A and B are shown apart, each in its own frame.
Chain A
Amino acid sequence: MPMDAIGIAGTSLSTHRKWLDAVSDNLANVNTVTSTDDDAFQARYVTAVANADNQGVSAAGNEWGDPEGRVVHEPDHPLADEEGYVRYPDITLSDQMGSLIMAQRGYQMNTAVVDRAIDIYQAAIQIGAQQ
């Protein structure tokens, strides 16, 4: 059954929430250090795909950042290898902050769509009511 405006906005709310969750996790791990024997923390990027028949949007899956990360010389770090290197994740803080704001604004805009859709339903309920 096709969804109405509220349902369509709902698909976008959950997609933007998943995006926000991914950005939060990326930002939380921006300084997560691993040894050079292991992969670096990989940033997660949610891919959004429009649903068929104009029924909103879904988070189709994830793309992952580079497992190589950035190799940094920190000989005093407990995880440093014999040559003094550790791995940092390849996350650009400014990109993630930009994504954070885009995801937040997208979420807010879709809550406004829900509010407008409620106005329409209320008008429809009043059709034929005695004034």
Chain B
Amino acid sequence: MFDSVTTRALTSALDGLAARQSAIADNLANVNTPNFHARRVQFEDALADSVRQGDGAVEAAASRSLEPTRLNGNNVNTDTETLSNADTVLRYQFAAQSLTGHFSNVRTALRSA
């Protein structure tokens, strides 16, 4: 019951979103660092596939942005990073609440037994 697909998938989502948050923090930390390339964290597609196969546990994958750079060799885009940061926080809050809701269901089931 505690190791269900729901728990595994939501935990994977929380881990992936936390990794993305760290990547955004690193990108914005290096906004003025010459020759720095922004890092992207992906896990959604792999997570969807994994849930479809009844598992739900995935690791987030990271890659470097291939966007064109500015004159100092840096390609951090402050607009997209700031938006992605706000988006990541909301998704994290959503996944955290979903997990709490799932545990609440488990609690209800335990009480009624």
Interface on A for B, CB 8 Å cutoff? 2-6, 8-9, 11-12, 15-16, 19, 48-50, 54-57, 102-103, 106, 109-110, 112-113, 116-117, 119-120, 123-124, 126-131
Question: In the complex where A113-B28, A113-B85 touch, is A127 in contact with B78 (Cβ < 8 A)?
Answer: no
Instruction: List residues of B (24-39) whose CB comes within 8 Å of A's CBs.
Output: 24-26, 28-34, 36, 39
Q: Residues on B close to A: CB < 8 A? A: 14, 17-18, 21-26, 28-34, 36, 39, 62, 78, 82, 85-86, 88-89, 92-93, 96-97, 99-100, 103-104
The reply to whether A126 and B31 contact each other, CB–CB distance below 8 Å, is: no
A8 CA / B33 CA spacing, docked (Å): 14
Expressed in whole angstroms, the Cα–Cα distance for A55 and B97 within the complex equals 29
Contact of A56 among B14, B29, B89, B104 (CB under 8 A): B29
Contact status A123-B39, CB under 8 Å: no
A-B interface, 9 closest residue pairs, ranked by CB to CB distance from nearest: A12-B29, A5-B25, A8-B25, A123-B96, A56-B29, A123-B93, A48-B33, A54-B26, A119-B89
What residues of chain B lie closer than 8 Å to A11, measured between beta carbons?
Answer: 29
Beyond A11-B29, A48-B34, whether A4 also contacts B89 by CB under 8 A is: no
* Contact (Cβ within 8 A) B82 A112: yes
- Whether A116 touches B86, Cβ cut-off 8 Å, given contacts A123-B96, A127-B100, A131-B104, is yes
